[in-house]
Amino acid sequence: MNEYGLPALPCYLNGAFTTLDQAKISVMDRGFIFGDGVYEVVPVYAGKPFRFAQHMARLARSLTELRIPNPMTEQEWRGVVDHLVTAYAKTLDKPATDTDQLVYIQVTRGVAMRDHAMVPGLQPTVFATSNKITPPPAADRAAGVKCITADDFRWKKAHIKAVSLLGAVMSRQMSVDAGAAETIMFRDGFLSEGASANVWIVKDGVVLGAPKDNLVLEGIRYGLLEQLCADAGLQFELRRISRDEVFAADEVLLSNASKELLAVTQLDGKPIGNGRPGPIYDKLYAGYQRAKQSS
């Protein structure tokens, strides 16, 4: 470990593979100065990246929004990810196929003297690393989790997976302070998303989610849940969802790369449905596990 206590885990930085304890960037990197960059988090099951093409498509969309050139092709990104997955597995003395991991990718605009304007012609800073994936404990799977609500005070470009995550940090800390699993946010009385997860409700057998617009980050599980619902014969709909509808839902679900799919059984101290994970969650979670095995 270095002076910051970082382990010697494998990482990639600007064209070279190194380790976290050795990697360095300029203090004038715009990701450090302005949060001027984007990121992706790719889950890896049995050594294979899950829905990799969808993650690369979202990375490309976010880069385009910020006018940062994509520094690699999808094939080149895959090469970096595969190398990191193998390297991390070696730190565990395991073959990659015996590991589940989480690969973090970050691209910033690059290094320049401080100026708010988008400096043209910079070489993007590219960083990636892999570590263990930490799924929710079995007790949370069995009983569901409690969450709290808050007004969504973040900016109106939530569809960009930007590294400037101070709003999410503050929202997530609210749930930590309350001993809750997540903060579910509402903008003008309508559901947006969680601090670090998309939010879904189930009512009368219909799975409902917020629209894919600038107020919500389109999680990779948007497309996956639509597919899982189709496979299970469930109706899937995206529309504005009021706060009252969330509290009156039969089920509330969270989704992200590490949680996969998780039932919310208590919200602001009030039970959701019967206070237990529901049958739609059970169906979709089972389908999610099958999708992981077939990826």
Residues catalogued as catalytic: 161
In whole angstroms, give the CA distance from residue 101 to residue 87: 11
Are residues 13 and 127 in contact, defined by beta-carbon separation less than 8 angstroms? yes
In whole angstroms, give the CA distance from residue 96 to residue 110: 32
